[in-house]
Structure 1
Amino acid sequence: MSPSSDDPRCSWCLGDAEYIDYHDNQWGVPLHDDRDLFEMLTLEGAQAGLSWLTILKKRPNYRVAFAHFDIATVAAYTDSDIERLMTNPGIVRNRLKITSTIRNARGILQLIDEFGSFDRYLWAFVNGQPIINHWRTLDEVPAQTTESQAMSRDLKKRGFNFVGPTICYALMQSIGMVNDHLVSCPRHAQLNSIAESP
């Protein structure tokens, strides 16, 4: 359920209808589908050095460019696919970010072989349950945590790119591994009720 227009949303999302919709309906909602998790890992990595709103507006283009984030398909991309993507104005045309998406897809396939799913691997860093924080101001929200640092170290050892601890924490926030909505935001309590339901 989205907050009403009068509710005190987290201030970072204000000023753009698309940003507000993302905050109200996606950010912090526990996500467990491997394809969706691959999408969020890719988008969080693409954001490096840019604003999240920039990436959010390019999200439909990313879905088309990367086969709607079918992991096996992207893992099979070749140099010709990289060159094709480098001419796509709808995505961030950064060669390192494009090649890292392909490399990460291959890494996810290995994780699926080892753990059964990418979901199971990621959520193990929080023991399968969202961490519920109780921040009152944006200044209190950390850029990284011990969990995101552990995730970053392990992913890097496995050959993943654009998975620093800050990017990993942004991923954890976006896929609901942590609830970092401010306590004044109605979504904080709404998501807590989801996390606490049997």
Structure 2
Amino acid sequence: MSREILFTALFIGLLFLTLVYALVKKQLPTALLGLTALVGVADIFVMSAIYDHSRFILWQGWGTYAGFYGSAFMMGSLLYALCLWPQLHQLAEDESARAMTPLLRFYLLGFVLATVAVIVMFSAVAPNLAQGISIKTAAVNVGTLTLWRYLLLGIALVLLVTYVTRLPRKSLPALLSLALMITITGEFLGRYAFFSVGG
């Protein structure tokens, strides 16, 4: 917990400095932005390690790390795209779509990692289904929550692909905002499923 507090505080501090610099200088500090990203990646690792080293067997393993990084990549890519909207707005339509392509790849990477985490989680749940009614109930709930989660994530993914391939750039803020809200809702269901399995 102490490491999580340390890295989270460091990340928030660096993020604040990056935002202040960007607002004052009207440009992104590349070095500071890179350092902030590295600390953020380390912070996610530290947070994941707390659950990996817990007493709950179903939380242990690299699937937990994949789940945490998957959520961060999906929500982070959309949030970053929204923050870049003023710059994207100044680009031509085809250039704006090209600028969105790397962010779409980050979302896809997060989607893949989240899927791997779910596969690992279900493979760990399956051998334990006969141990008790609480495990059975938890497994049923996790299955339903996971289906709803991927339905929402699939909708968000379709929205992003549709923008990059077809829609005009003027619709970007509304589309990204909707995709972000849907993704957050889906990941909330995913986190609830994760904690219900562990508990």
Normalised by the length of structure 1, the TM-score is 0.29
- Normalised to the residue count of structure 2, the TM-score between the two structures is 0.29
Higher relative contact order (CA 8 A, sep 6+): 1
Larger radius of gyration: 2
Decide which structure has greater helix share.
Answer: 2
